[in-house]
Structure 1
C-alpha cells in the first residue's frame, strides 16, 4: 500500500437517485479526512444521519446512511476541501518525500475542485476572441437583465414588463420581482388533486423557501405525498389553505417544521396546518407523528387538523429550546396522543407555551382496547425534563373511554417527565373521558386544572391518577360545572384558631414520672405518642384523649401557644371516605406534619398505603433504621411524617453564594391520602426542641364536607362526659338525703360534676322540693346526692338523672 494518497483524474463529485432501499453510496475519489466530504439530499447539506468510511484511501470510500433515503431524493457526494497550508518547510531542514507528496496531493485535489466548479460556470469558448465580460456596477444592473451588446460584451438591459401599484410613492417592479415575493407550492408542480404524488413538488417548494428565506403558500386542495416533508427553519413561514394527505411509510413524521440545524426558528408564523394520514396508524410506533414543531421561539402556530397518527403533534426542543410561543389548536382526532410536549437532549427545554382551544377526540371504533391521552409531557432518556409554564385555554376532550364505566384510560393529560411545573388548564371540557383529568407517572409540582364540564352519567367527580412511586401530589383539579358558586373557594372544615385556648386537664391516661403535672387534652383534637408503650393497631388505640409532655417542660401551658415535645403530636381525626385531598395550614415554629391512616374497619394502614404532599416528601416510621422500616407495622411512631419542618428555611444560592433566605416555604401543604384510607389523623409534632403551635386549620374541596371524629363514644377531643341513670323513689322523708353511685366513663377525681333530673311523665312539680349535687369520686365513677328540702315526704316518679363531668381548662 502506498504511503500517501494517489490523486487520480477522477471528478470530485458523484450523483445518485435514491430508491428507498439503498443506504450505502460510493464516492470514487479520495478524501483526506471525513470532513472533506459534503453530503447533500435534494440539494441541502446534511450534518447527521450517516457515517463516512474510506478517508485517506486513494480509491475513495462509502457513505452509509443510518436510514435509507426516501425514494426519489437526490443524493450528491462531493469533495470540498479547506484551502490552506498544512506544512511549513524550514531553512536547511530535512525535506521529506512524504511531506512533499502530501502537500502536492492536497494541491492537486484542490485544483480538481476548482476545475469542477469552473466546468459548471458560464465561460467563453477557447477559440473565441476576447470580450469585456465584467459586470456593470450594482446601480447599473439593479432591476435589469444581463445581455450582450454587438461586440459580445456584457451589458444590462431593461426588464419588461413592469408593474406599478396604483398608489402614491409606488415604484415600477418587474413581474418576476413581484412573483418572487412569496413562493407557492403550485410553482413547483403541486396539483392538490388528492391523486398525484405531490411530495417531491412540496419538498422542492419547501427547500426553495428555506434557500430564499421566503414565505411558502400551499394552496387549496388535498396534497397527497408518499414522502415525509421537512420545512427547514430558514424559511420565513408557511400558510396552508388545503391539506397534506400522508400516504408514505410508517415510523416517521409526516411534516417537520424546523430542521436539525443548531438554530432557533424565531418569530415565525405557521398558519392553517392540516395533516391527515391516509390510513389510521396502529398506535404502536411513537415515531409515527403527524406534525413535528422543532426549536420554535416566539412563534405563532395555527394547527387546524391532525388525524390518524400515533402522536398527532409533537413540540420538540432538540439543539435549543422550544419556548415563548402561542399555538392555536383545532381538530386533533384519532391519535393515541394528541399533543406530545417533549425534549430530546439535555441542552434543550420546552417552556412557556400558550395553547388556545383544541378538540382532542377519538372515534369509538378506533383501537377500542388501547389507552389514549390528549396531551403528554415527556422527555427522552437523559434529556432536560423540567417542562414548565404551559397554559391551556378551553380545550375539549372527547377521548372515548369505551363504556360506562370505561374499559381503557381516556385521560386528557399524561405526565411522564421527571419534574413538570406550573402546567395549567382552564375551562376544560371532558366528554366520554375517564374521571381522571390527569395521570402522573413522573413528578409534578404546582399544576392546576379547572373543569368547566364533564359529560358522564352518574358523575362521581374529577380526580388525578397517581402511579406507583410518585412522591408528590402536585396537581390540583377544580370541577366547576356543579354548584359553581360553591367551588370559588376551599372549604374550612376544621379550625383550631387558638390551640392554647382548647387545652384542658385529662388524666384518663395514667401519669408517671417525676415532675409530671398531668395529662393534657384538647377540644375536638387527639394527641399522638411518638413512642407508644403498646404498638397501635387501630384508631382507638392510636389517638389519645390526653398525654403528658405536651409542652415539652412538664409545666402548665402559658402564653398564646402550645409547646410540643418531639415525641408528641396534636391533630384532627377526620372521616376521609369521600375526601382524599386535604390542605393543612399551621401557625407556629419548628413543627413537622404527621399523618396516620386507617381503613374502613379503623385498622392502621402502614407503608403500603403511601401519603404524598404537594411541596415536600413524606417518610414512613421516622426514627427506625432502614431494615426495620421495611417490615410492615414496625416503627417508633407508626405515622407518615414530612421530611422537613413546616417552617424550614430555604436558602437560594447563586454561584455558590446565598443571596436570599425564604422562611416558611412549606407552611401550607396539600395532603393526598391513600385510596384505602377511610379515617386519618392529620396534625403536627414538635420537629425539634422549642417547637410551638398556635393554630391549626384543615381545608378541602368545597364540594366535600368531611366529618371530624371526636367525643361521643370516642375517648378524645371532648371535655364533657355524660351518664344517664334511671331513678324512682316513694316516700323520701322530710330533710332526708340519699346517695346514688354512678358509672361515668372517662371521669376522674377532681373533674367538675353537675346533675339534672327529668321525669319521664314531664311532671316537674316535685323538683323544686329537692336539692341535687354530684361529684366525680374516682376513675370512671361519680356520686349523686338527692336531698328533700321540704317539710313533707316527697315521692320521685320514674325519672332520669343526667350526670355530667367536665375537665378543667388549663
Structure 2
C-alpha cells in the first residue's frame, strides 16, 4: 500500500434504493480487499454481477454492476471481514510499524462490525444489570411463546396460557390468540393488496371467517385484485376498508355483496370506507353487473367512498325482507349507468325509510357518449313491492354530461309508486332539464335544486306510463321566495252564495261552468260542454247538492301552465277533467293520454267525454287536494267535480297553480258566458224626436237575459228631460223605453244605449 489505510468513525454499511438506471454505487467505508464487501439486493446476497474498486483506500470506493438493479430495489453494501489472524510476530524480531498497524486496523474494523450488529439486537438499557436472557433448550421452547417472567427474565409460555392486558386500570388479561382474533384482517388470510396478485380467494376466506365468528373484517391499505365475485355474509359484524377492491372477474356478477338475501334480516351492521373499482368498464347493458350489492339491511350505517365503471354502481335490495331505517354516506360514484339503484326483488320485500348523505354522481365526457345515464333509480323486479316510501337525500351532486347531447342524463329515474322522496340541496351540472323522470305512480316527491347549469328551467318528466303527478321542483337559485308561494288562481268559497238563478228552472254559479254527464248531439267545442246554467242543481243551506248528471268546473287557459291543484269541500267528490286542443276542439284518448292526477288514476268516460277519477276523493282526506298535470297539446281545460255514483253536497272549490305562471280563468266572455251573474249589452241608436209626454222604444239583444232579471238602461249622451227605462221584453232581449217627461219635444243626437241585467 502506498499510504497506510485509516479506519475512521464510519458505519460499515450503506443502503440505496435503485432507480433502474444507475450502475455505480459508492461505499464510504474502507475495506482491505474486494472480498471484504457484501452486496445484497432486496435481502438476497449476490455472489457475482458486480465489480469492487477502491480496496485499501481510507475513503472507500465504488461497486459497479454489470446491469443496473431494478427500479425500487433495495441495495445494501456492507463490510464483512473474515475473522482470522493473518500475521505472527517472531521472538526478538523487528516489530515493524506497518505490520502492527495492519493488525490494529483489522481489529478496529471488526469492532465496528460488531457494534453495527449489536445496534439491531434486543438488549437491556444501560441502567439495568443482571438478568437471565439465555434461551431455553430447543425442545423446551418448541411451539411455545417467548416472553418474560415476573422478574423480567426470558421465559416460554404455552400458547394457550400467555396473556396480555391493556396498560390501563381495569385491564383484563387475555390470551394472545384471543387478542389476535378480536378483529380479522384480510392479510391474515394471505391477501397481498399489491394490485397484481389475485386476492379473491383470500378475501373470500376472510369474509367467511368473519361470518363464522361474527367478527368485524378489516381490509387494509392497498389495491386488492379479485377475479371472483365476493360475498360478506350477514353473520359478520361488518366491514372496514382503507384500500380498494379491483374487480377483474366475469361480467354479470356483483363484485361485492353485503348481507344475506332470502327472508333474512341483517340488523345494525356497519360497513365503512367501501371502495370497489372495475378493472375495465362494463358494457352498461347487463344490469347484473353491479359494483356493491347490499341486501336486507335494517338500521345499518353504510359508508361508500368510491364505486366506478359498473352498469349499476350500488344497489340496495329488499329480498323477501325489508331494506329500511338505515343511513348511507355516499362518495364518488362515477361512470356507472345507474349510480344508485334502490330496488325490491319480491312482493314480500320492501325498500323504505332510508337517509342518504352526499354523493357525487358523475361521468366523464368520453364515457359512452351515446348512452343514457341516471344518477339514482327507484326500481322493482316484476311482481315485486313497488311502494318505496320516505327516502331522504341531502346534498347529492350530479354531473351526467348529457346536456346538448341526444341522450338522457337525469338525476332521478323513478319506476315505482313511491311517496315522500325528498332531495335537498341538489346540484345539477351538465344534466337534462329534468330533475326526475316518473314512469309509474310516484307522487309527493320534492326535489330542491340549490344550483343547476340549466338555470331555473327545471321540471319533472312524466312519461306516457306514469299514473300519478303531484311532485314539485324547488329551484332555490332563481326567485326561491317567490316560487315557494302557491298562486291562488280562482276560488268559490261559498257555493250557496255563488248560486245564480238563471231562469225558472236552471241554476248557474259564479266563475264556474255547469257540466253535464250526458251532453246531447255531437259536441266538439268548449261552449258545447261549459254551460252557463242547467237544471237539477239542488241548493242547500251551505252549498249545492250535485244530483245525477251534474258537475261544476273551472275553465282555464292551459297553453303555458300545465299543472293545477284543485281543492274542494264536499262529502264524496269525484274529480273530472276535460281537455281541448287548438281552436277549443275536444281532445280524446285517440290523441293520447291527456291528463294525470296526483292521488288517483283517471279513466276516460265516453259519455261525458272527460277523464274522471277512478274513485271518490274520500281517502281520509288524503286525496281531496288533487294535482292535475296536463299533456303539452292541451290548450284549454275544464277542471272540476261531478256526480258519478251518488248525490253529494259541494260547498266550496279552489284552484291553484305554480306562482311562476298566471293563466287566465275563462268565464263571462262572449264565447263562454258562464260564471257571471251580470250581463251587459249595448246598441247604437239615434232616437226620433219625442213629443212632450211621449216615448220611443228599442229592443237590445242581450243573450242570457230572462224574464225576472233585474235590468237597467242608460244612454251615452246627456238625456235632460228624458228617462230611460228597461225591462225584459222577451228571452235574450231587453226593451229600452225613452220617456220624455219634459213639457217640450226632445230630439237627441245619435248615441249608444247600454243595458245591464243582474240575476238573482
**TM value normalised by structure 2:** 0.74
How far residue 411 of structure 1 moved from its aligned partner, in angstroms, is 1.9
How far residue 175 of structure 1 moved from its aligned partner, in angstroms, is 4.9
How far residue 731 of structure 1 moved from its aligned partner, in angstroms, is 6.2
Alignment of 1:235-274 (within 5 A): 235-260=236-261, 263-274=264-275
Aligned in 2, Cα 1:255/1:718: closer, same or farther, shift over 3 Å?
same
Contact 1:574 1:709 survives alignment (8 Å): yes
Alignment of 1:74-113 (within 5 A): none
Q: What is residue 716 of structure 2 aligned with on the other side?
A: 758
Alignment of 1:201-350 (within 5 A): 201-260=202-261, 263-350=264-351
Alignment of 1:130-529 (within 5 A): 157=158, 163-173=164-174, 175-260=176-261, 263-403=264-404, 406-417=405-416, 419-456=417-454, 459-468=456-465, 470-473=466-469, 475-507=471-503, 517-529=504-516
Contact 2:474 2:480 survives alignment (8 Å): no
Q: What is residue 127 of structure 2 aligned with on the other side?
A: none
For the residues of structure 2 that align with 1:260 and 1:445, how far apart are their CA atoms?
29
Contact 2:598 2:626 survives alignment (8 Å): yes
Aligned in 2, Cα 1:745/1:300: closer, same or farther, shift over 3 Å?
same
Instruction: Specify the SS of the correspondent of 1:286.
Output: coil
Aligned in 2, Cα 1:641/1:354: closer, same or farther, shift over 3 Å?
same
Asked whether 1:638 is paired with 2:637, we answer no
**Partner deviation per Cα, 1:77-126 (whole Å, 9 max, x = no partner):** xxxxxxxxxxxxxxxxxxxxxxxxxxxxxxxxxxxxxxxxxxxxxxxxxx
Alignment of 1:49-128 (within 5 A): none
Instruction: Specify the SS of the correspondent of 2:280.
Output: coil
Asked whether 1:783 is paired with 2:741, we answer no
For the residues of structure 2 that align with 1:580 and 1:210, how far apart are their CA atoms?
55
How far residue 642 of structure 1 moved from its aligned partner, in angstroms, is 1.8
Contact 2:438 2:460 survives alignment (8 Å): no
For the residues of structure 2 that align with 1:364 and 1:794, how far apart are their CA atoms?
88
Q: What is residue 27 of structure 2 aligned with on the other side?
A: none
Aligned in 2, Cα 1:540/1:773: closer, same or farther, shift over 3 Å?
same
Match of 2:566 among 555, 579, 584: 584
How far residue 599 of structure 1 moved from its aligned partner, in angstroms, is 0.8
How far residue 677 of structure 1 moved from its aligned partner, in angstroms, is 1.5
Q: What is residue 601 of structure 2 aligned with on the other side?
A: 617
For the residues of structure 2 that align with 1:261 and 1:709, how far apart are their CA atoms?
58
Q: What is residue 40 of structure 2 aligned with on the other side?
A: none
Unaligned runs of 5+ in 1: 1-143, 147-154, 508-516, 552-556, 622-634, 651-661, 760-765
Alignment of 1:643-662 (within 5 A): 643-647=614-618, 662=620
How far residue 688 of structure 1 moved from its aligned partner, in angstroms, is 4.5
For the residues of structure 2 that align with 1:393 and 1:164, how far apart are their CA atoms?
44
Aligned in 2, Cα 1:520/1:262: closer, same or farther, shift over 3 Å?
closer
How far residue 787 of structure 1 moved from its aligned partner, in angstroms, is 3.6
Contact 1:211 1:235 survives alignment (8 Å): yes
Match of 1:749 among 693, 696, 707: 707
Contact 2:437 2:460 survives alignment (8 Å): no
How far residue 746 of structure 1 moved from its aligned partner, in angstroms, is 2.9
Contact 1:591 1:688 survives alignment (8 Å): no
Contact 2:488 2:657 survives alignment (8 Å): yes
Contact 1:328 1:357 survives alignment (8 Å): yes
How far residue 235 of structure 1 moved from its aligned partner, in angstroms, is 1.9
Contact 1:776 1:805 survives alignment (8 Å): no
Contact 1:338 1:373 survives alignment (8 Å): yes
For the residues of structure 2 that align with 1:546 and 1:319, how far apart are their CA atoms?
57
Aligned residues: 605
Alignment of 1:660-675 (within 5 A): 662=620, 664-675=621-632
For the residues of structure 2 that align with 1:261 and 1:780, how far apart are their CA atoms?
76
**TM value normalised by structure 1:** 0.70
Unaligned runs of 5+ in 2: 1-143, 147-155
Q: What is residue 62 of structure 1 aligned with on the other side?
A: none
Aligned in 2, Cα 1:372/1:302: closer, same or farther, shift over 3 Å?
same
Asked whether 1:697 is paired with 2:697, we answer no
How far residue 587 of structure 1 moved from its aligned partner, in angstroms, is 1.4
Instruction: Specify the SS of the correspondent of 2:496.
Output: helix
Instruction: Specify the SS of the correspondent of 2:582.
Output: coil
Aligned in 2, Cα 1:595/1:159: closer, same or farther, shift over 3 Å?
closer
**Partner deviation per Cα, 1:568-604 (whole Å, 9 max, x = no partner):** 1111111122232222221122432221111122111
Aligned in 2, Cα 1:378/1:159: closer, same or farther, shift over 3 Å?
same
Q: What is residue 552 of structure 2 aligned with on the other side?
A: 570
Contact 1:502 1:523 survives alignment (8 Å): yes
Q: What is residue 534 of structure 1 aligned with on the other side?
A: 521
